[in-house]
């Protein structure tokens, strides 16, 4: 324990090679999870992200238990979001999965952080608005690497549901959340609005609102200003007539038609051509759907039960509207097609 605290105090993470680790290193086949995490280890701009958090992270040197290394906690946070894990599930996964421990740089002299420590780190990011800064830093890194092409923009939104019984520390419902209806189902929580580059599939803008805010009202905030086309589902019908966009330069809008409009077409030839055109628009819009599902995309947007700073920790509480973006999209995409975490 004394040696462990000394290593933490000096910011050192030591990988002690046990018999189990030696056997693990000697195996011939690498799993798809290991391949993906290896790619992530190379393409994520760790130094830049750590520099943003370091001024706010507790320093060592004080009496008592020393804080875990910052890089370890950030890597665990990313693992948690990429796998949509609650805090207790993240702790258990680190105990169970060797590849995740190795990615987080947890060695033989280090203990796996408990669920409360993982929760507190996420609250640290929320308290200092670091998630937005991390997102902007990654986008800047992608731009320098030439991965953010900034072509047309695809817009979409998704509801992030929370239990309707959630209340803040004052015993009242949080005003940032609201109830909405989608189809025949009612939801309570928030909504994530995203703008995605149509070429690379990378997220370049994110806005979070209450769940009852209409998708179209935030569309103008999801544009980077250099696109020539804007794509979206039928929830963005009439976007070209929206007040915030009428004064902007001329854009081409590829908005999906509502099913009721298709039913009004009587000509079979016209209906066939229209369906082919709608299929082409849907194929383009599918890049956004992959982000919400976590499938085949270099950027992951995870959604789950909402967890706010200042609340009592609850089992199953996940991060709010977390977007994790990584560089070198082509390499990661090649791996992601083979992996379902």
pLDDT in tens, 9-50: 444 444 455 555 555 555 667 888 888 898 888 888 999 999
Tokens 């077409």, residue located = 265
Paired strand residues for 182: 185
- Residue of 247, 237, 198 lying closest to 214 (CA atoms): 237
| Cα 223 from Cα 206, distance rounded (Å) | 10
CA atoms within 13 A on the CB side of 272: 3
| Cα 177 from Cα 165, distance rounded (Å) | 12
- Residue of 222, 77, 79 lying closest to 157 (CA atoms): 222
Q: Could you tell me the fold of the domain covering 150-336?
A: Nucleotidyltransferase; domain 5 (3.30.420)
pLDDT of residue 46: 93
**Maximal CA-CA distance, the chain:** 80
* Dihedral pair phi/psi, residue 169, rounded to 5°: -65, -15
| pLDDT score of 58 more than 80 | yes
**DSSP characters for 265-315?**
---HHHHHHHHHHHHHHHHHHHHHHHHHHT-S-SEEEE--S---TTSPP-T
Q: Could you say which DSSP state residue 156 is in?
A: E
Tokens 């740089």, residue located = 105
In the chain, where the domains are located: 2-127, 150-336
Between 298 and 19, whose confidence is greater?
19
**pTM recorded for the entire structure:** 0.65
Q: Quote the distance between the C-alpha of residue 263 and its chain's center.
A: 37
Structure tokens at 247: 């004064």
Q: What is the mean pLDDT of residues 195-222?
A: 88
pLDDT in tens, 109-134: 567 999 999 999 999 999 998 988 98
pLDDT in tens, 254-276: 899 988 888 888 888 998 998 89
3-state secondary structure of 329: helix
| Residue 121 near residue 57 (C-beta atoms within 8 A) | no
| Cα 54 from Cα 205, distance rounded (Å) | 25
Q: CA-CA distances (angstroms) from residue 27 to 19, 30, 47, 71?
A: 13, 8, 31, 27
- Pairing relation of β-strands 229-232 and 203-210? unpaired
Q: What is the mean pLDDT of residues 285-298?
A: 60
pLDDT of residue 147: 66
pLDDT of residue 130: 92
pLDDT of residue 93: 92
Structure tokens at 128: 């200092």
CA atoms within 13 A on the CB side of 249: 8
Lowest mean pLDDT among 11-25, 104-118, 173-187, 217-231: 11-25
- Residue of 145, 183, 176 lying closest to 162 (CA atoms): 176
Q: Quote the distance between the C-alpha of residue 297 and its chain's center.
A: 11
* Dihedral pair phi/psi, residue 5, rounded to 5°: -65, -35
């Amino acid at each position: 324990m004394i040696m462990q605290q000394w290593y933490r105090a000096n910011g050192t993470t030591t990988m002690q090679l046990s018999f189990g680790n030696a056997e693990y290193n000697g195996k011939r086949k690498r799993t798809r999870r290991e391949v993906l995490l290896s790619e992530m280890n190379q393409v994520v701009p760790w130094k830049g992200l750590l520099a943003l958090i370091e001024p706010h992270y507790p320093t060592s040197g004080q009496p008592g238990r020393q804080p875990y290394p910052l890089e370890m906690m950030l890597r665990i946070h990313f693992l948690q979001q990429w796998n949509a894990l609650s805090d207790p599930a993240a702790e258990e996964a680190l105990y169970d999965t060797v590849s995740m421990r190795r990615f987080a740089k947890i060695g033989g002299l280090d203990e796996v952080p408990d669920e409360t420590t993982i929760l507190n780190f996420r609250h640290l990011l929320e308290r200092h608005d670091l998630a937005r800064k991390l997102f902007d830093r990654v986008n800047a890194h992608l731009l320098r690497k030439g991965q953010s092409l900034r072509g047309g923009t695809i817009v979409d939104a998704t509801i992030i549901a929370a239990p309707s019984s959630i209340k803040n520390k004052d015993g009242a419902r949080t005003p940032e959340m609201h109830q909405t209806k989608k189809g025949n189902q009612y939801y309570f929580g928030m909504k994530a609005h995203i703008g995605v580059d149509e070429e690379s599939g990378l997220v370049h803008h994110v806005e979070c609102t209450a769940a009852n805010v209409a998708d179209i009202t935030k569309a103008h905030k999801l544009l980077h200003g250099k696109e020539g086309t804007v794509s979206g589902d039928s929830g963005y019908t009439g976007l070209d007539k929206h007040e915030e966009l009428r004064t902007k330069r001329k854009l081409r809008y590829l908005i999906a038609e509502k099913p009721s409009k298709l039913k009004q077409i009587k000509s079979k030839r016209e209906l066939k051509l229209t369906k082919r055109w709608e299929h082409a628009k849907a194929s383009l819009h599918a890049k956004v759907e992959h982000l919400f599902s976590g499938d085949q995309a270099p950027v992951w947007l995870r959604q789950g039960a909402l967890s706010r700073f200042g609340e009592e920790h609850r089992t199953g509480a996940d991060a709010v509207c977390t977007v994790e973006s990584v560089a070198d999209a082509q390499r990661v995409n090649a791996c992601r097609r083979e992996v379902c975490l």
